[in-house]
Amino acid sequence: MIIKSLGLLPYDESLEKMRKFTRERSKSTEDELWLVEHPPTYTLGLKTKPEHILNHDHKIPLIQSDRGGQITYHGPGQIVAYTLFDLRRLNLTVRKAVRLLEQTTINLLSSLGIAACGNDVRPGVYVNSKKIASLGLKIRNGYSYHGVALNVDMDLEPFDNINPCGYPDLNVTQLKELDVNLSIDEVRQLWANQFILSFSN
């Protein structure tokens, strides 16, 4: 697996890069994990309903995505792990890939002393019923892209303008609120290590 830290990247630019990589890859292409942050952006999954946008702050763009799921927010201080993986080579169904992405994140949080869990009805990772990581994938010809976003140390206020992931009663949290005093670079490296453990075959 090739791991790339791409810094702060506009969402639409990263989306086009993922599509291009997936379109051009072959059975021999090595899987890649891209770790990025985005400027403030709302992204609309394929199932987004207009009523889940409560109060659009027009300073923050709304961008249609081709991932699964509904609306979420990205911003600086959140690490997004884009998983450009060959699921057939990894012998993973989509459901198994989702569960493994969740478990990889749960393992990271456990290493930081945080008890987290998944949810069979609401994909993602939760701490004390608050969502700390959101997940959405797109599969094209057996290859995945998009991935999972982990809240580290960000402004959570823009989440108040939406029903995160389409759930009106869903609250969000982040590592900073859980007294994890690591830099975003340190968290990024620890998470990358967990991905290597989970997905290297």
pLDDT in tens, the chain (201 residues): 999 999 999 999 999 999 999 999 999 999 999 999 999 999 888 777 777 787 776 789 988 888 877 889 999 999 999 999 999 999 999 999 999 999 999 999 999 999 999 988 888 999 999 999 999 899 999 999 999 999 999 999 999 888 777 777 889 999 999 999 899 999 999 999 999 998 875
Reading the block at residue 84, the tokens are: 């450009």
Q: Where are the beta strands (DSSP E) in 48-180?
A: 62-64, 71-74, 78-84, 125-127, 130-140, 143-151
What gap in Å lies between CA 180 and CA 186, rounded to an integer?
A: 11
- pLDDT at residue 120 in the model: 82
Under 8 Å between Cβ of 60 and 11: no
What CATH number does the domain containing 60 carry?
3.30.930.10
- What totals of helices (H) and strands (E) does the chain contain, helices first? 3, 9
According to DSSP, residue 186 is labeled H
According to DSSP, residue 86 is labeled B
- pLDDT at residue 167 in the model: 75
- pLDDT at residue 66 in the model: 84
- pLDDT at residue 32 in the model: 96
- pLDDT at residue 15 in the model: 95
Using alpha carbons, select from 84, 91, 62, 74 the residue that is nearest to residue 37: 74
- pLDDT at residue 125 in the model: 95
Reading the block at residue 61, the tokens are: 């763009």
- pLDDT at residue 163 in the model: 77
- pLDDT at residue 36 in the model: 97
Block residue for tokens 């590592």: 175
- pLDDT at residue 47 in the model: 76
Catalytic machinery residues:
165
Q: Could you give the C-alpha distances from 65 to 42, 124, 172, 174, 193, in angstroms and in order?
A: 10, 18, 21, 23, 28
Under 8 Å between Cβ of 31 and 3: no
Under 8 Å between Cβ of 118 and 184: no
- pLDDT at residue 46 in the model: 78
Q: Looking at the 3D structure of the chain, how many domains does it have?
A: 1
Using alpha carbons, select from 83, 78, 88, 79 the residue that is nearest to residue 18: 83
Domain region containing 94: 2-199
- pLDDT at residue 57 in the model: 66
- pLDDT at residue 68 in the model: 77
